[in-house]
């Protein structure tokens, strides 16, 4: 069971799931890239979660972010940017700092060629509709369609939210993708070329919201 669970921990909502064709990505060859009803929905704004941990926690860090998670978890496949945490009750968290190279892009370095930054990716997903006018630029349109295609692929509950606090934007979708119950992207103003991706694998909603509330950015100088 654990091997199956860990397989799901590696699931990414970053690829288009559409195959490139004759050098032109399928995303740009068809207008049928986002067919779900949710493609024309946008996120509901709600209050930023509050940090109110009463239980013991431990700190998890990536180069740009740090957060608190419940103790007693076992960390698998830990790298500088990615942590997979499994708890005794088979719940878990995937925490990953994502940059352009981590996306499965049919157009190499599409973000670098586009006006959109990596931090714009969740904003497009959560705050835009399929029926809106698309960007005219080739690379901008590809990123736009990539984000909306993944919205249609994964946001199957119809419940997704955006919260803002100071320089942080928190994008939260409740989903039903295998054992994944929540997909979250967090961006910070001072680091537009990265985002923090957090997937919840059945952790209690209240506890998970406390994890989200604990996310802070790590200063380039000085540290903690």
Residue 23 pLDDT level (bands cut at 50, 70, 90): low
Looking at the domain assignment, is residue 19 inside a domain?
no
Looking at the domain assignment, is residue 181 inside a domain?
yes
Mean pLDDT confidence for 49-76: 90
Q: What is residue 157's predicted lDDT score, i.e. its pLDDT?
A: 86
Mean pLDDT confidence for 128-146: 96
Looking at the domain assignment, is residue 96 inside a domain?
yes
Residue 220 pLDDT level (bands cut at 50, 70, 90): low
pTM over 0.85: yes
Looking at the domain assignment, is residue 171 inside a domain?
yes
* Res. 169: pLDDT tops 50: yes
The CATH number that applies at residue 152 is 3.40.1000.10
* Res. 19: pLDDT tops 50: no
pLDDT, averaged across the chain: 87
Q: What is residue 212's predicted lDDT score, i.e. its pLDDT?
A: 97
**In angstroms, how far apart are the furthest CA atoms of the chain?**
56
* Overall number of domains in the chain: 1
Tokens of 150: 């993944």
Residue 31 pLDDT level (bands cut at 50, 70, 90): confident
Looking at the domain assignment, is residue 17 inside a domain?
no
How many whole angstroms separate alpha carbon 118 and alpha carbon 113?
12
Q: What is residue 86's predicted lDDT score, i.e. its pLDDT?
A: 95
Mean pLDDT confidence for 159-172: 97
Tokens of 68: 């608190």
Range of the domain at 63: 2-11+34-217
Mean pLDDT confidence for 155-168: 94
Residue 101 pLDDT level (bands cut at 50, 70, 90): very high
Contact 149, 103 (CB under 8 A): no
Give strand pairing partners of 164. Answer: 169
Mean pLDDT confidence for 176-200: 96
Residue 11 pLDDT level (bands cut at 50, 70, 90): very low
Looking at the domain assignment, is residue 119 inside a domain?
yes
Tell me whether strands 24-25 and 20-21 are parallel, antiparallel or unpaired.
antiparallel
76 or 213, which is more confident = 213
Mean pLDDT confidence for 63-72: 95
Minimum mean pLDDT range among 32-36, 41-45, 65-69: 32-36
State the DSSP string of the chain. Answer: -HHHHHHHHT--S-S----EETTEEGGGT-S-S--SGGGG--PEE-PPPP----S-EEEEE-SSEEEEEESSPEEES--SSEEEEE-TTS-EEEEEEE-GGGS--SSTTHHHHSS--TTHHHHHHHH--TTSPPPSSHHHHHHHHHHHHHHHHH--SSEEEEEEETTEEEEEEEEEETTEEEEEEEEETT-TT-EEEEEEES--HHHHHHHHHT-EEPPSSS--
């Amino acid at each position: 069971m654990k091997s199956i669970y860990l397989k799901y921990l590696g699931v990414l909502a970053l690829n288009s799931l559409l195959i490139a064709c004759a050098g032109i990505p399928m995303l740009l060859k068809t207008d049928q890239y986002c067919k779900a009803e949710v493609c024309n929905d946008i996120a509901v704004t709600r209050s930023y979660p509050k940090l109110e941990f009463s239980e013991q926690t431990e700190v998890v860090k990536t180069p740009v972010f740090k957060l608190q998670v419940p103790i007693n978890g076992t960390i698998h496949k830990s790298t500088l940017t990615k942590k997979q945490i499994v708890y005794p009750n088979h719940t878990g968290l995937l925490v990953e700092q994502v940059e352009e190279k981590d996306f499965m892009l049919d157009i190499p370095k599409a973000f670098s060629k586009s006006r959109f930054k990596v931090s714009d990716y969740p904003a497009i997903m959560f705050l835009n509709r399929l029926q809106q006018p698309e960007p005219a630029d080739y690379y901008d349109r590809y990123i736009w369609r990539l984000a909306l295609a993944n919205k249609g692929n994964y946001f199957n509950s119809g419940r997704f939210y955006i919260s803002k606090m100071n320089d942080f934007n928190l994008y939260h979708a409740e989903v039903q993708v295998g054992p994944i119950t929540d997909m979250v992207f967090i961006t910070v103003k001072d680091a537009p070329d990265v985002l923090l991706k957090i997937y919840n694998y059945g952790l209690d909603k209240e506890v998970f919201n406390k994890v989200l509330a604990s996310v802070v950015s790590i200063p380039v100088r000085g540290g903690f």
